[in-house]
Chain A
């Protein structure tokens, strides 16, 4: 019995490992294509890139990431700690409102703030009126078109990735551990710094990694605000210096740097076990804040929501309103919204399934093979959208053309561009791009399920598949739901790959905004921009509700 059991386990695990290797291969295809493109050589361009482009790109990118990392972690962790452990007016509201900036694409925030903070914009105009200055030149404020401006904007839009992760962890953290710290004489601050924070480190790292990769990949906001990041340089090399090989080379350098960073972080917390400890615990009691502290907490939670969501969205509302009055509402917007939602949904479903495969295989397979596959499967998030799209175009079109030729020979009619000419390429691009989010989310969810549960299920006669269906999946529901929503919202916002891979006559809300922005100013796209925010809003609120304590697997047992 035990022998049969062991062999069946190996066979099951082997199937999962094989599946996860296949997923990794799909993600690797565009990376390999990039290598092939890079290998064509950029000729005399490399010395130039080395002398003038890379130093600037490394400098700007490093500062941007440091800055965005600092802002997102301070804001994300700080607000998460406040809403999970303190009682102050508005806590219930901020609990979910702090997630709202997730729904706003970074490029839209950049456009909005340039408007808001321009000498002709409402803020400076009001200030001048207040100070009785007539000349727009009489009042000098720092320009948002700068590295610090870009750091602040990206930081205040991307912090929810950290907030979400930190909040979930703080909610799951066993109160006893914190209470023990308190009874041993630690005050609230040192309990936070020396117990809660170190325990939350893995999830904060995952959240911060997502935020940083978003910042790294951002093209709209960085380019618009004049920051020369790696991604911006990749574009300039490709488009202006007509060197796709040169662009691929920089992209690979960037990919290597990302890998190094991710591995460094993992190495930093090697051999440490963070799981467990959450069972049979109760959420920590909320500390009632004094009047002054309440106001401080209110300000600390209100500022990110104001900067990351309320101000830009209000501006969009105003612009959309005046645009509708000026040029009317385009009937295409409804079709575009449908396209956006449809493709984002399809991609989310696939990304979730594949993320589950990666994480499940990594849990079963102890050889490290599936673990490596999971790492490789997350690579897509580190490649700029257009570069990924170009990398994807080549293998897809090659496959399509080969299939077409074969079909012509065998069946007498061609299949045309089966994948690259249809929406399938787009779904595939989304999946590859955002698999890191779903795989990471599922992985984090798995980390909270102790191995002893698997053992119990297996010893009670469940197969691996049964264990997954009847034990893992119910427990993973919150993580899966959260991952699904993040992937969905990200697909809705995705622009560069959509632009390159979409079929004829196919527009999404994001391409609509881009087209309007390319034609003139972005205000024409305000309606579509607002719709992206609105469509994203529902899932984001849902996300906040889903991660409420009552749905947590750890506390569900104690609640019933």
Chain B
């Protein structure tokens, strides 16, 4: 066998492997979704998209490293849509140049102007409010501000997940955007001094620890209350959800802090037209009400109904601070968390 023959064989062998390994390159109507949201959460949405359009969705849940993966894959990346669970990740994707702008009447009509990029790079899909969970038995409160979480009267009574979690860095970033770094640091030190246990675990553990008597007050996301109280998480979680009184806190003279999930179209999207269809579907009436009903999130689309459990907290008034300004302070927020030793 000559060298050339060997090379030819090796190459055709490799090409065969490539064909076998990437069956998705061949079929026609599909769209590839990279998501930092767990796919189980959005599967009902994707299924109904496939049902109404005939376009198959190949989704992969990548927690950390989504941007690095897309970047490394370069022009050969199969990714069409990049979906993130937090706004920071979305802004990062845009900053790292792995997205492309799209213009769409449907998107512009459905999503309020402050919840999409003026340049068309990113679009918000759903909102979750950062709530305060208060013990039903021990805390007779009907309203609270984020500022009050640092009040010394709550010493040893507050539970919260890691300060480094995107949900919390985003809240701290909003505090910085509003009051400046020095005030935010003082506030964070105050909250840290009030903690009943290490800042760790998830938001549902906050409710569980309130029922367990470890703390009286906690910080958690709105949709977890829906998941717990609906019984979808099982009978134990039903009890956790029942032990808390979910309050919609506000900044003094402002609104409630919201976390945003959103999506962008990948720069090298091989199925761009289908990607756009998917985005447009996700903000349609049907999908937005699914977001609300199945995931207990606040829809971004004006007029879409909020799920009854979530609606029972009262009317959400999102804080008016500019999203991009908050996202810019995210890194500083993370640094402050280290500086005050929030997680220690």
Binding site for B on A (CB under 8 A): 48, 51-53, 56, 114, 118-120, 135-137, 143, 145-146, 223-226, 228, 235-236, 238-244, 322-323, 326, 386, 389-390, 393-394, 396-398, 400-401, 403-404, 407, 410-411, 413-418, 420-424, 496, 499-500, 502-506, 511, 514-516, 518-521, 523
Task: Give the complex CA separation of A48 and B237 in angstroms.
Answer: 40
Q: Would A520 and B227 be within 8 Å (CB), given that A401-B74, A504-B24 are in contact?
A: yes
Task: Give the complex CA separation of A255 and B69 in angstroms.
Answer: 23
* Min distance, Cβ A224 to any Cβ of chain B, angstroms: 6
Instruction: For A244, list chain B residues within 8 Å (CB).
Output: 68
Across the interface, A500 reaches (CB within 8 A) one of B21, B65, B236, B237, namely B65
Across the interface, A503 reaches (CB within 8 A) one of B21, B197, B234, namely B21
B101 within 8 A of A: no
B60 within 8 A of A: yes
Task: Give the complex CA separation of A513 and B18 in angstroms.
Answer: 29
Across the interface, B65 reaches (CB within 8 A) one of A389, A420, A506, namely A389
Q: Are B18 and A500 in contact (CB under 8 A)?
A: no
Q: Are B64 and A502 in contact (CB under 8 A)?
A: no
Instruction: For B339, list chain A residues within 8 Å (CB).
Output: 48, 51-52
Q: Are A421 and B198 in contact (CB under 8 A)?
A: no
B75 within 8 A of A: yes
Output the nearest chain A residue to B227 by Cβ-Cβ distance: A520
Interface string of B178-218 (1 = CB under 8 A from A): 00000000000000000001111110110011011110000
Nearest 6 pairs of A and B residues by beta carbon: A119-B212, A226-B198, A226-B200, A422-B21, A137-B213, A397-B72
Across the interface, B58 reaches (CB within 8 A) one of A236, A410, A504, namely A504
Task: Give the complex CA separation of A417 and B200 in angstroms.
Answer: 38
Q: Are B198 and A416 in contact (CB under 8 A)?
A: no
Q: Are A235 and B15 in contact (CB under 8 A)?
A: no
Q: Are B334 and A240 in contact (CB under 8 A)?
A: yes
* Min distance, Cβ A360 to any Cβ of chain B, angstroms: 27
- Selected A-B contacts with CB under 8 Å, 14 pairs: A53-B338, A118-B208, A118-B209, A226-B198, A236-B164, A390-B68, A393-B69, A401-B74, A415-B15, A416-B25, A418-B17, A504-B24, A504-B60, A518-B61
Total number of A-B contacts with CB less than 8 angstroms?
182
Q: Are A416 and B234 in contact (CB under 8 A)?
A: no
Q: Would A120 and B343 be within 8 Å (CB), given that A223-B162, A236-B164, A417-B76 are in contact?
A: no
- Chain B interface mostly helix, strand, loop or mixed? helix
Task: Give the complex CA separation of A416 and B62 in angstroms.
Answer: 20
The size bracket of the interface on B is: 35 or more
* Min distance, Cβ B297 to any Cβ of chain A, angstroms: 13
Q: Are B68 and A48 in contact (CB under 8 A)?
A: no
* Min distance, Cβ B246 to any Cβ of chain A, angstroms: 17
* Min distance, Cβ A62 to any Cβ of chain B, angstroms: 15
Instruction: For A423, list chain B residues within 8 Å (CB).
Output: 21
Task: Give the complex CA separation of A118 and B18 in angstroms.
Answer: 50
Interface string of B3-32 (1 = CB under 8 A from A): 000000001001101100110110000001
Across the interface, B18 reaches (CB within 8 A) one of A114, A143, A415, namely A415
* Min distance, Cβ B44 to any Cβ of chain A, angstroms: 13
Q: Are A228 and B344 in contact (CB under 8 A)?
A: yes
Q: Are A418 and B72 in contact (CB under 8 A)?
A: no
Instruction: For B59, list chain A residues within 8 Å (CB).
Output: 504-505
Q: Are B60 and A120 in contact (CB under 8 A)?
A: no
Q: Are B78 and A521 in contact (CB under 8 A)?
A: no
Q: Are A226 and B199 in contact (CB under 8 A)?
A: yes
Q: Are A118 and B200 in contact (CB under 8 A)?
A: no
Across the interface, A519 reaches (CB within 8 A) one of B25, B41, B60, B198, namely B41
Interface string of B306-344 (1 = CB under 8 A from A): 000000000000000000000000110011011101011
What would 8 more interface pairs be, CB under 8 Å, given A224-B200, A242-B331, A518-B61?
Answer: A235-B64, A241-B335, A397-B73, A400-B76, A404-B76, A416-B18, A499-B63, A504-B60
* Min distance, Cβ A156 to any Cβ of chain B, angstroms: 20
Instruction: For B201, list chain A residues within 8 Å (CB).
Output: 114, 145, 224
- Chain A interface mostly helix, strand, loop or mixed? helix
Across the interface, B15 reaches (CB within 8 A) one of A53, A401, A407, namely A407
Across the interface, B92 reaches (CB within 8 A) one of A52, A118, A242, A401, namely A242
Q: Are B58 and A240 in contact (CB under 8 A)?
A: no
Instruction: For A519, list chain B residues within 8 Å (CB).
Output: 38, 40-41
Task: Give the complex CA separation of A242 and B84 in angstroms.
Answer: 14
Instruction: For B75, list chain A residues within 8 Å (CB).
Output: 401
Instruction: For A223, list chain B residues within 8 Å (CB).
Output: 162, 200
Output the nearest chain B residue to A326 by Cβ-Cβ distance: B234
Instruction: For B88, list chain A residues within 8 Å (CB).
Output: 242
Instruction: For A505, list chain B residues within 8 Å (CB).
Output: 58-60
Output the nearest chain A residue to B96 by Cβ-Cβ distance: A242
Instruction: For A518, list chain B residues within 8 Å (CB).
Output: 38, 61, 63
Across the interface, B14 reaches (CB within 8 A) one of A323, A401, A415, namely A415
Q: Are A421 and B22 in contact (CB under 8 A)?
A: yes
* Min distance, Cβ B230 to any Cβ of chain A, angstroms: 11
Q: Are A136 and B15 in contact (CB under 8 A)?
A: no
Task: Give the complex CA separation of A114 and B339 in angstroms.
Answer: 28
Output the nearest chain A residue to B164 by Cβ-Cβ distance: A236
* Min distance, Cβ A429 to any Cβ of chain B, angstroms: 12
Instruction: For B92, list chain A residues within 8 Å (CB).
Output: 242
B222 within 8 A of A: no
Instruction: For A146, list chain B residues within 8 Å (CB).
Output: 198
Instruction: For A394, list chain B residues within 8 Å (CB).
Output: 72
Task: Give the complex CA separation of A475 and B58 in angstroms.
Answer: 49
B39 within 8 A of A: yes
* Min distance, Cβ B51 to any Cβ of chain A, angstroms: 19
B120 within 8 A of A: no
Output the nearest chain A residue to B33 by Cβ-Cβ distance: A504
Q: Are A407 and B11 in contact (CB under 8 A)?
A: yes
Q: Are A239 and B197 in contact (CB under 8 A)?
A: no
Q: Would A136 and B213 be within 8 Å (CB), given that A242-B92, A420-B72, A518-B38 are in contact?
A: yes
Q: Would A145 and B65 be within 8 Å (CB), given that A48-B338, A504-B24 are in contact?
A: no
B233 within 8 A of A: yes
Task: Give the complex CA separation of A8 and B14 in angstroms.
Answer: 35
Instruction: For A414, list chain B residues within 8 Å (CB).
Output: 76
B255 within 8 A of A: no
B126 within 8 A of A: no
Instruction: For A523, list chain B residues within 8 Å (CB).
Output: 234, 236
Q: Are A413 and B343 in contact (CB under 8 A)?
A: no
Instruction: For B197, list chain A residues within 8 Å (CB).
Output: 143, 145
Instruction: For A421, list chain B residues within 8 Å (CB).
Output: 21-22, 73, 76, 78
* Min distance, Cβ B199 to any Cβ of chain A, angstroms: 7
* Min distance, Cβ A230 to any Cβ of chain B, angstroms: 14
Q: Are A515 and B64 in contact (CB under 8 A)?
A: no
Instruction: For A516, list chain B residues within 8 Å (CB).
Output: 40
Interface string of B32-73 (1 = CB under 8 A from A): 100000111100000000000000001111111100110011
Interface string of B101-136 (1 = CB under 8 A from A): 000000000000000000000000000000000000
Near A by CB (< 8 A), chain B positions 203-251 give: 204-205, 208-209, 211-214, 227, 233-237
Task: Give the complex CA separation of A114 and B343 in angstroms.
Answer: 18
Q: Are A52 and B338 in contact (CB under 8 A)?
A: yes
Q: Are B169 and A240 in contact (CB under 8 A)?
A: yes
Q: Are A422 and B61 in contact (CB under 8 A)?
A: no
Instruction: For B208, list chain A residues within 8 Å (CB).
Output: 118, 120
Instruction: For A326, list chain B residues within 8 Å (CB).
Output: 234-235
Instruction: For B62, list chain A residues within 8 Å (CB).
Output: 499-500
Candidate in B59, B201, B208, B234 with the most chain A CB atoms within 10 angstroms: B234
Instruction: For B14, list chain A residues within 8 Å (CB).
Output: 403, 415, 418
* Min distance, Cβ B58 to any Cβ of chain A, angstroms: 5
